[in-house]
Structure 1
């Protein structure tokens, strides 16, 4: 809007008035959210991911652990997420020139790979992924062993909670920068980690413990899922929902207290209290400390009590407040969305689920799980672990070449509707829209392995003379009765 000064300037110098008008237009915000009149101000605006981590990550981690330990649906959601992502285990399969030797060594080593003796390889993978999602990050330390230790390959893995990392360590060392317990070289690559000798939260840890020790980066696998460029540490997956879960817990506590009040029936009596001097006749009442107030005692169901003349009674019966179930379901939907898991996986509630809605949500969930498997878990944990395994096997003279070629088989997904899904896949293959190999990969199978197994099965059935029988059974027209006898007689002739 033009004010008094604008009108004077425009009257004296029209060109200056026009320039003033357009200059004012340029000051207006293109985005309403960027207007200075908006009262909302983000906390620590402009801080780096590492600054945010240093300020908040420990608190978020402790709260996330408390929720997993105490809130059933948070445990169920995290457990379902881990089951979908890791399942029975993500299997590495050597594919290079040393694949036969490495496969045998890998099968034996997987059983004894844990330095603490608690997991096999698949169990360690599951525990590492669980810790990453709950705490935001986890460490795996590579422990080289002696050849005389009797291991298939002289290497073991030590799974460490992120608390082992000295997050308070910062500064410089020989030109390298130390941030949040991680040392970076001049090119920004990780050079080392600073670890405590024991878990700092352990009861047996002495109060005057020594400083953390420097461990070279090639002995540590740091698993986390960075969301921002330059992010050197991870945040818990539960970070966006911690406050909402706590609010819901407080609401549930308040609802329980209100339900306790609703379930209690109170009676207010007014009149001549002297007539109630016989507690036994009145149901076992007595005088309160303040005097003048009588307690009728417990009134048994179906009993008849005589009351004095002139007494007035008022029954206090709290009214139930509606909307509790609806609000809880709405809040749980938001929490499930924040965690990235389907609602029914978080709650087990299938009451509002039909085939179409379940399929759509499961397809979205599968894409998210696949992204986690192939973008984070496999390249940042499993490939480095496999490469360390091969390197130690080569150094021990167990293989001739440093063969790092490997493929991974992720857990297959179960069919939502087996008959319809298989028919749809076969229709895509017959229409040229997909290949057998692609459909097998989508189900977690290795096409080459499946083809080899089929060839071996067909060869075996042919040698046993039952290939025709298997084909008849597959087509559903197995010969019976006279047809089978006729077939046999013609074959004999």
Structure 2
């Protein structure tokens, strides 16, 4: 609407009035959310990912750990993510010229790769992934060993919580810049990490001892996190979007529990002449004060018959149950599960609202999310660097002839929702040329070369022992028809 000044200018100079009108239109917002009338102002608007991390990440990490430790469905969500993403292990298989030697050497090394002696290789990958999701990031330190230590390959891995990183270190080191405990060179590449000499939260820390952080070259550190913003140098916990909602839900459940306790108690208010009542002290209660207006008349035994004085009135206090508790909690847990990126059924075990179609659709969506983490984060930022460090250590120790880094990774296979239909669909795709047998094997977590070698070996053994025809009969349901040559030989005999 034009104001008084606009109308006056338009009456004196219509062209100027029209110009003011169009100029005012240009100031209007194309997005309603950008309107000055919107009072919402995000905190730290325009801050970088590293600035947000420095301000909030430690608090979020501590709260996320508390949720996993104390809230059942948060604990179940983390375990479900680790089970789906890592399972029993993401298996590396060398594919180069020395693949047999490397694979055998890795199998031996994987049993003793943990510098702390707590995990094998696959257990360490699982623990690292779980720590990344819970804390937002985790460190794996490469520990070169001496050839005399008796290891298959002179290398071990040390899994460190992100607390080991001295995030108070900020400044410069020559031309390099230090941000949140990580040193970057002039091109922005990570040059080093500053690590405490022990865990800052360790109960065995000597009082009064000043802890020191040491510079460790980046070539000995694998920093596992999932960067979500360009330039992000540190990770945030997966639980960050749901921490406040989980806290509110826990407060609601505590209040509901207190109300339920009150509902189970039946109270009676008595009024009138109580002079004829027996002294409560004789019933085990406290004797009333002289002249007191409120008296405890004692407890009423089950199945008892008690005579009451004439003229006494009774009022029963019976709290009424408030409906809707289960539905509200389910609704909130649905939102929390969505924020964590896991199916509701995984965090609760509640399958009451699931049918085959909904389970399949949600399962496929969850599978894509898990595969994204596997192939875009876990394999390139953890599994592959470990394998390359293993190859380098094996080469330097003279265990292999060359630095053959060629490797393929097999994540855990997915179980079928409907095995019969899924297998038939895969067979139809292969028959129509829409996929290959090798691709279908890879989708199930198998190495095609290993499967084909096993098939060749099995068929050779069956043929040598003369039971291949029997196996074909069991598969097809009929015995193979003898050829004319076989009939002729049988007649001659």
Q: TM-score range by the shorter chain?
A: over 0.9
User: Residue 353 of structure 1 corresponds to which residue in structure 2?
Assistant: 354
User: Residue 9 of structure 1 corresponds to which residue in structure 2?
Assistant: 9
Query: Pairwise mapping of residues 48-63 of structure 1 onto structure 2 (< 5 A)?
Result: 48-63=48-63
C-alpha distance in 2, partners of 1:194/1:275? Answer: 81
Paired residue secondary structure (1:275) = coil
Alpha-carbon contact 1:286-1:295 (below 8 Å) kept: yes
Offset, 1:449: 1.8
Offset, 1:71: 0.8
User: Residue 362 of structure 1 corresponds to which residue in structure 2?
Assistant: 363
Change (3 A) 1:64 1:280: closer
Alpha-carbon contact 2:281-2:287 (below 8 Å) kept: no
Residue 395 of structure 2 is aligned to residue 394 of structure 1:
yes
Change (3 A) 1:42 1:359: same
User: Residue 26 of structure 2 corresponds to which residue in structure 1?
Assistant: 26
Residue 318 of structure 2 is aligned to residue 324 of structure 1:
no
Alpha-carbon contact 2:469-2:479 (below 8 Å) kept: no
Cα deviation, 1:321-369, whole Å, max 9, x if unaligned, reads 1110000000000010011000010111111111110110010000000
User: Residue 409 of structure 2 corresponds to which residue in structure 1?
Assistant: 408
TM-score by length of 1: 0.95
Cα deviation, 1:363-383, whole Å, max 9, x if unaligned, reads 000000000000000000010
Offset, 1:4: 2.0
Residue 427 of structure 2 is aligned to residue 418 of structure 1:
no
Offset, 1:98: 1.6
Alpha-carbon contact 1:115-1:156 (below 8 Å) kept: yes
Alpha-carbon contact 1:144-1:156 (below 8 Å) kept: yes
Query: Pairwise mapping of residues 58-207 of structure 1 onto structure 2 (< 5 A)?
Result: 58-206=58-206, 207=208
Offset, 1:422: 1.0
Alpha-carbon contact 2:280-2:287 (below 8 Å) kept: no
RMSD: 1.9
TM-score by length of 2: 0.95
Alpha-carbon contact 2:113-2:120 (below 8 Å) kept: yes
C-alpha distance in 2, partners of 1:403/1:29? Answer: 58
Offset, 1:284: 5.4
Q: Which deviates more from structure 2 when the two are superposed, residues 268-277 or residues 184-193?
A: 268-277
Identify unmatched segments of 5+ residues in structure 2. Answer: none
Cα deviation, 1:281-303, whole Å, max 9, x if unaligned, reads 9x655544582433232223322
Change (3 A) 1:417 1:288: farther
Q: Which deviates more from structure 2 when the two are superposed, residues 193-202 or residues 420-429?
A: 420-429
Alpha-carbon contact 1:285-1:294 (below 8 Å) kept: no
Paired residue secondary structure (2:269) = strand
C-alpha distance in 1, partners of 2:188/2:286? Answer: 80
C-alpha distance in 2, partners of 1:43/1:293? Answer: 55
Change (3 A) 1:267 1:410: same
Paired residue secondary structure (1:64) = helix
C-alpha distance in 2, partners of 1:85/1:228? Answer: 22
Query: Pairwise mapping of residues 36-51 of structure 1 onto structure 2 (< 5 A)?
Result: 36-51=36-51
User: Residue 457 of structure 2 corresponds to which residue in structure 1?
Assistant: 456
User: Residue 343 of structure 2 corresponds to which residue in structure 1?
Assistant: 342
Alpha-carbon contact 1:284-1:296 (below 8 Å) kept: no
Paired residue secondary structure (1:73) = helix
C-alpha distance in 2, partners of 1:325/1:87? Answer: 32
C-alpha distance in 1, partners of 2:489/2:313? Answer: 104
Identify unmatched segments of 5+ residues in structure 1. Answer: none
Offset, 1:269: 0.3
Residue 430 of structure 2 is aligned to residue 429 of structure 1:
yes
Paired residue secondary structure (2:50) = helix
Paired residue secondary structure (2:246) = helix
C-alpha distance in 2, partners of 1:76/1:475? Answer: 45
Aligned length: 486
User: After TM superposition, which residue ranges in structure 1, 4 or more long, deviate above 3 angstroms?
Assistant: 277-281, 283-290, 476-479, 488-493
Alpha-carbon contact 1:185-1:191 (below 8 Å) kept: yes
